[in-house]
Amino acid sequence: MHSITALWLPIIVSTLAVFVLSSVINMALPWHKGDFRAPPGEDAILDALRNAGVQPGDYMVPYASGMEDMRSEAHKQKVLRGPVVVMSVMQRKSLSIAPMLGGWFIYVLVISILAACMAVVGAASGESHTIFHVVGLFTWAAYAAAVWPLKIWYGRSTRGALTTTLDGLIYAVATGLIFVWLWR
C-alpha cells in the first residue's frame, strides 16, 4: 500500500508534463484556432457592451428570471427572433496571461494530487495496467468531461468539445504513463 506522500514525484512530473503539453497544444498546434470566431460588427458590439455598463460575469440573452418568464409570449418571441447569446465577460486590466496560467497550473496540480489519491486506493496492487487505467481514466474525466455539459446546455461548439476531449485524452495518457513509470 502506498501513501500519497510517496507519490510526490509522479505528482510533480505529471503536473509539469500536462502544463507543457497544454502549452504546446494551445500555442503550436492548429486544432484550437477555430474554437472561437469574431462576430460581424465586433467593434460596434464592444462599444454597445461598454456603453451599457456590462460588468464581468456570465450572461444569457434573452434572459428569463424563471419558468414563468420562459413561458411568456414576449420571451418566446425574443428567443425565436434571436440571436440567443451565452457570454462570459472577463475583467482584464492587463494583456498578461500570467494569472490564467497560474490558475491552470494550480488546477493541473490539484488533478495530479487527486489522481495520486485515486491511485493509492484503486491501484493498491501496484500492477502497471491498473495504475495506468485508474490514473488515466480519472484524469481524462477531470480534464475533458466538464466541456460536454457546456456544449449541451450552452451551445458550445461540437468541434471545441471534441478537441478539448482529445486534449484531455493526451493529458490523461501522459499522466497515466508518468505514474506507471515513477510508481514506487
pLDDT in tens, the chain (184 residues): 567 788 999 999 999 999 999 999 999 988 888 888 899 999 999 999 999 999 999 999 999 999 999 999 999 999 999 999 999 999 888 889 999 999 999 999 999 999 999 998 887 777 899 999 999 999 999 999 999 999 999 888 999 999 999 999 999 999 999 999 998 7
Checking DSSP bridges between strand 85-89 and strand 57-61, what pairing results, if any? Answer: antiparallel
Sequence spans of domains, the chain? 4-37+96-182
pLDDT at 1 (0 to 100): 52
d(CA 157, CA 124): 40
Determine contact, residues 18/176, Cβ cutoff 8 Å.
no
DSSP designation for 59: E
pTM of structure: 0.85
Neighbour-count burial of 58, counting CB atoms closer than 10 A to its CB (0-12 exposed, 13-18 middle, 19+ buried): exposed
